[in-house]
């Protein structure tokens, strides 16, 4: 009765954990939820009646122009014609999967990578080719070898404050990755939801800005910096890909909601927006440092990690070789939620890693939650 | 470099014609655009800040409850648990295609049918099985024969003010269609975007309300009665299908924009909404009658048609056996836009039919446009 692809349709563990994590007495390090208190105020005053009608599939021109200006400032010289407004950047993954993925299409991803991308590409039949991450970005020898041997149709990378690892590719790695993609003419899907959430100095120039010939798609969103509930995000891409994305967007939902585009544009171009971004960085920077201190105190003998220079997550590798999935229920029983490492890998494996979000919990809850989580792990280890 | 499905990705002729039809001096009978002057005023006053955060994939509970109450009133006794909020009902087609359509999957559709459904199902590889329409609904003998011989995985039907034909299935046909679907256990996708736009007495009880065992999905939208720019629509379905749609929605765009859901719910539950719907019906009823009169005057010897009891379109069959596609450019040259019949058929054919929308143009432009279109056709016929 159903399509063949249904056998590959997975639920989202994040969403299931979030359902539990939303209980009021739970300390949640599980999701990637922005802090509500750091969100700008939405203002629909002055909304033009004209936006009630059906709108253009590519999105509103003024918003596409604002996105193009911002991307140009970041080193990717695009115009509004290269920009497509999306109903959240998850939709960009769906459209890209439709454009590129058949059954058994090789798709290169980082290991670990964003689990919703894995779900989305899986649904369309992707065969994953994984490349390991170092603190400076992907293992370049492995990347080169796999580009040659596996000939992936595209690579999906999150170079800036990678989810879940927190890694920010350094400048030399960005350049080498670009050179390799040009050499092998592999399409680059570059996802940058976290690029504005920067706390320490690091190179953030998009890799697509360094490409000479390889086709590319760049995904961006306002969900991490402004209002996720609006579902307004965007992609910019190589001109050759735009006509396809345009038609795929049309077939997916005609166009993105216009009131949300308008409200987001109003925010984005307001005089206060740069100050909002600066405050947001300070706020999350402090939370990151609070979690770093709590981890130093409670996890120094339990796990290894690097302090992420941006983004929303710590990625912990336990010193003990245990399955972190087994820690989830005991942690939830103690009212702490986190994400085990396993679902962040495109191919099946056991992981002794944990992803901890630091943006959502309050400072005192961060300390309390990290302490409790360490207790849960110690109890688990001594019971084993 | 691209997926195999890309070869089946079509642009939307409607959208291309609409781009031309949007010129200010054009009289457009092409799209299915609601009249802006008949749209209710959007009001975001009182929007809760809490809706800025990520929301539930299935949609907001209060909106799902309002939809379920409305559907129950219409004879489909569902609860909020059977309802999924969509980013426009086009998204429902995309999710259904993902759920049901593989390469060469037989899909039963009316001939003619909604062209964006054809595009969407095509993209996923559907093989179309067409059933002709009579003034009372599908040809029942043909439907029974094709359900038996072609074993379609689902049927996509628009029983109420069908697009493009304007047909409203009568009661006996609705019951017989339901019986046939139960007998052959074929999934029914019932699309009802126009059901509230009723001008003459006719049976509108959803066919899914008559099903005893066959699985079903019912699509509804607020785009034709309220605010298309919001991109808020819904599906209700058989309980067995909901978990799949939920996960597919999650993978497509996480959830529908919450501000739009809130504003639509505020409209829908306002004291003024029933009066708005009543005014809208009167307004379009008048326009329909104006177009009917203009057609009587200018097309009586050129075409045959039935006055549609609801919806947004007249469907004209020319008496001459010519390709109505050939009339499009001459009509656009005279500043009148319409939709030729051809793209409304799932399989390739020549059509001497035209779809004329009567909701968007002003009354005097309707008369002028119909007159001009008749002149274009007469000139075309005498030149041939």
pLDDT at B100: 98
B268, B292, B310 - which closes a domain: B268
Give A207: exposed, middle or buried? Use CB within 10 Å, 0-12, 13-18, 19+.
Answer: buried
- Would you say residue B130 lies in a domain? yes
Same domain, A85 and A22: no
Chain B contact set for A94 (CB, 8 A): 251-253
Distance of CA B350 to the CA centre of its chain: 22
Same domain, A245 and A118: yes
What burial letters (b/e) apply to B229-244, b meaning 16+ CB within 10 Å?
bbbbbbbbbbeebbeb
Task: Work out the minimum CA distance from A3 to partner chain B, whole angstroms.
Answer: 4
CB contact under 8 A, B98 and A41: no
Using CA atoms in the order A181, A182, A188, A190, what is the torsion angle rounded to 10 degrees? 90
Q: Two tokens at B169?
A: 């299935």
Is the pLDDT at A15 greater than 90, yes or no? Answer: no
CATH code (residue A186)? 3.40.640.10
- For chain B, the distance separating the N- and C-terminal CA atoms, rounded to the nearest angstrom, is 45
Task: Report which of residues A82 and A7 the model is more confident about.
Answer: A82
Question: What is the tens place of the pLDDT at every residue in B190-238?
Answer: 999 999 999 999 999 999 999 999 999 999 999 999 999 999 999 999 9
**Rounded to the nearest 5°, which phi and psi values hold at B327?**
-90, -15
Task: Report which of residues B120 and B10 the model is more confident about.
Answer: B120
Chain B: residue nearest A98 by CA?
A: B3
Is the pLDDT at A14 greater than 70, yes or no? Answer: no
pLDDT at B23: 82
Same domain, A229 and A243: yes
Chain A: residue nearest B18 by CA?
A: A56
DSSP state of A310: B
DSSP state of A187: E
How far, in Å, CA of B19 to CA of A234, rounded? 22
Same domain, A355 and A289: yes
Sheet holding A187-191, edge to edge: A83-86, A233-237, A216-221, A187-191, A154-157, A106-111, A127-134, A137-138
Number of structural domains in chain B: 2
pLDDT tier at B179 (50, 70, 90 boundaries)? very high
**Domain of B286?**
4-39+274-383
A210, A233, A268 - which closes a domain: A268
pLDDT at B191: 98
Same domain, A126 and A250: yes
- Would you say residue A45 lies in a domain? no
- Would you say residue B65 lies in a domain? yes
Same domain, A182 and A326: no
Q: Are B91 and A253 in contact (CB under 8 A)?
A: yes
Same domain, B282 and B357: yes
Is the pLDDT at B161 greater than 90, yes or no? Answer: yes
CB contact under 8 A, B253 and A91: yes
Interface of A with B in 127-156 (CB under 8 A): 153
Same domain, A99 and A242: yes
Mean residue pLDDT of chain B comes to 95
Is the pLDDT at B19 greater than 80, yes or no? Answer: no
Task: Find the mean pLDDT for residues A224-252.
Answer: 96
Cβ contacts below 8 Å, chain A against chain B, sum to 197
- Would you say residue B127 lies in a domain? yes
- With an 8 Å Cβ cutoff, is B184 touching chain A? no
pLDDT tier at A137 (50, 70, 90 boundaries)? very high
- Would you say residue A49 lies in a domain? no
Lowest mean pLDDT among A53-57, A153-157, A365-369: A53-57
> Of B211, B220, B225, nearest to B275 (Cα)?
B225
- Would you say residue A258 lies in a domain? yes
- With an 8 Å Cβ cutoff, is B48 touching chain A? no
CB contact under 8 A, B53 and A47: no
Q: Are B181 and B155 in contact (CB under 8 A)?
A: yes
Same domain, B258 and B291: no
pLDDT tier at B10 (50, 70, 90 boundaries)? confident
CATH code (residue B14)? 3.90.1150.10
Is the pLDDT at B243 greater than 80, yes or no? Answer: yes
Question: What is the tens place of the pLDDT at every residue in A21-60?
Answer: 778 899 999 988 888 998 999 999 999 999 999 999 999 9
- With an 8 Å Cβ cutoff, is B307 touching chain A? no
Strand segments, DSSP code E, in chain B are 27-28, 83-86, 106-111, 127-134, 137-138, 154-157, 187-191, 216-221, 233-237, 303-304, 313-318, 336-337, 339-340, 353-357
Mean residue pLDDT of chain A comes to 95
Same domain, B17 and B65: no
CB contact under 8 A, A54 and B33: yes
pLDDT tier at A19 (50, 70, 90 boundaries)? confident
CB contact under 8 A, B257 and A230: yes
- Would you say residue A44 lies in a domain? no
Q: Are A206 and A190 in contact (CB under 8 A)?
A: yes
Question: What is the tens place of the pLDDT at every residue in A197-209?
Answer: 999 999 999 999 9
Interface of B with A in 245-304 (CB under 8 A): 247-248, 250-260, 263
CB contact under 8 A, B260 and A257: yes
DSSP codes of every residue in B269-285:
TSTTHHHHHHHHHHHHH
Task: Find the mean pLDDT for residues A226-246.
Answer: 97
Q: Two tokens at A366?
A: 């961060």
Question: What is the tens place of the pLDDT at every residue in A286-337?
Answer: 999 999 999 999 999 999 999 999 999 999 999 999 999 999 999 999 999 9
Considering only the beta carbons, identify the residue of A4, A10, A42 that sits closest to B52. A42
- Would you say residue B74 lies in a domain? yes
Same domain, B71 and B203: yes
pLDDT at B22: 73
Question: What is the tens place of the pLDDT at every residue in B37-85?
Answer: 999 999 999 999 999 999 999 999 999 999 999 999 999 999 999 999 9
Task: Report which of residues B94 and A17 the model is more confident about.
Answer: B94
B214, B244, B268 - which closes a domain: B268
Question: What is the tens place of the pLDDT at every residue in B109-137?
Answer: 999 999 999 999 999 999 999 999 999 99
Same domain, A167 and A66: yes
Question: What is the tens place of the pLDDT at every residue in A70-98?
Answer: 999 999 999 999 999 999 999 999 999 99
Interface of B with A in 197-216 (CB under 8 A): 215
Cα radius of gyration rounded to whole Å, chain A: 21
Considering only the beta carbons, identify the residue of B6, B116, B229 that sits closest to A52. B229
Which residues, other chains included, contact B79 with Cβ-Cβ below 8 Å and sequence gap of 6+? B68
Share of chain B above pLDDT 70, in %: 99
Chain A contact set for B36 (CB, 8 A): 49-50, 52-53
């Amino acid at each position: 009765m159903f399509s063949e692809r249904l056998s590959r349709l997975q639920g989202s563990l994040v969403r299931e954990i979030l359902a539990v994590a939303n209980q009021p007495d739970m300390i949640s390090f599980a999701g990637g939820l922005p802090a509500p208190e750091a969100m700008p105020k939405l203002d629909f005053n002055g909304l033009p009646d004209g936006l009630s009608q059906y709108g253009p599939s590519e999105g509103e021109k003024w918003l596409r122009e604002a996105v193009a200006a911002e991307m140009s400032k970041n080193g990717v010289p695009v115009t509004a014609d290269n920009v497509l407004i999306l109903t959240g950047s998850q939709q960009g993954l769906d459209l890209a999967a439709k454009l590129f993925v058949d059954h058994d299409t090789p798709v290169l991803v980082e290991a670990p990578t964003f689990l919703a991308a894995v779900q989305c590409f899986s649904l369309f039949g992707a065969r994953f080719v994984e490349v390991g991450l170092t603190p400076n970005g992907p293992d370049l020898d492995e990347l080169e070898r796999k580009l040659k041997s596996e000939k992936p149709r595209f690579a999906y990378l999150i170079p800036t404050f990678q989810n879940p690892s927190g890694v920010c590719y350094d400048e030399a790695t960005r350049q080498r990755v670009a050179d390799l993609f040009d050499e092998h003419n592999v399409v680059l899907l570059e996802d940058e939801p976290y690029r504005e959430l920067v706390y320490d100095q690091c190179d953030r120039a998009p890799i697509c800005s360094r490409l000479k010939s390889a086709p590319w798609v760049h995904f961006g969103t306002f969900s991490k910096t402004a209002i996720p509930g609006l579902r307004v995000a965007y992609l910019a891409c190589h001109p050759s890909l735009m006509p396809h994305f345009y038609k795929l967007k049309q077939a997916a939902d005609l166009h993105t909601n216009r009131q949300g585009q308008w409200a987001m544009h109003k925010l984005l171009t307001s005089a206060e927006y740069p100050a909002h971004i600066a405050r947001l960085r300070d706020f999350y920077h402090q939370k990151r440092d609070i979690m770093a201190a709590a981890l130093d105190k409670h996890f120094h003998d339990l796990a290894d990690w690097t302090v992420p220079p941006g983004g929303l997550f710590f990625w912990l590798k336990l010193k003990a070789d245990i399955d972190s999935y087994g820690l989830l229920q005991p942690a939830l029983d103690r009212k702490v939620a986190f994400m085990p490492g396993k679902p962040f890998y495109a191919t099946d494996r056991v992981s002794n890693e944990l992803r901890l979000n630091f943006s959502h919990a309050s400072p005192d809850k961060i300390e309390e939650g990290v302490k409790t989580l360490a207790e849960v792990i110690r109890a688990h280890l001594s019971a084993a």
